[in-house]
Amino acid sequence: METIKEFKDIFEKVKAATRLSVEDGNRLIRSKNLVELGAMANFVKKRLHGGRIHFTHSLNVNHSNICVLSCKFCAWAKTKKHPEAYALTVDEIERL
């Protein structure tokens, strides 16, 4: 893969399925070279899963939007008396 230049030494380990060192990890996590990081990640993904793509579906139930704090950046929380305030019951959460 000609696109790997900065991390050529690490990519050799990746191709050989050799465990990376702590120093390798530190270099990768500090890098802003997302093109090479992505290319190496895609190489491993293809080796493990071929062309298959997997998706995750999750549900995050916000059981209440009532909050006693008033963080200035928050556009979500409501006071208890606000007309859009809600607090779901356990039964309502289970239905969701």
Residues in contact with ligand SF4 by the rule CB under 6 A: 67, 69-71, 74, 76-77
d(CA 80, CA 86): 8
- Closer to ligand SF4 at the Cβ: 70 or 89? 70
- Closer to ligand SF4 at the Cβ: 77 or 88? 77
Do 12 and 24 form a contact (C-beta atoms < 8 A)? no
- Closer to ligand SF4 at the Cβ: 17 or 69? 69
Smallest distance from the beta carbon of 64 to ligand SF4, in angstroms? 10
Identify which of 5, 63, 65 has the alpha carbon closest to the alpha carbon of residue 39: 5
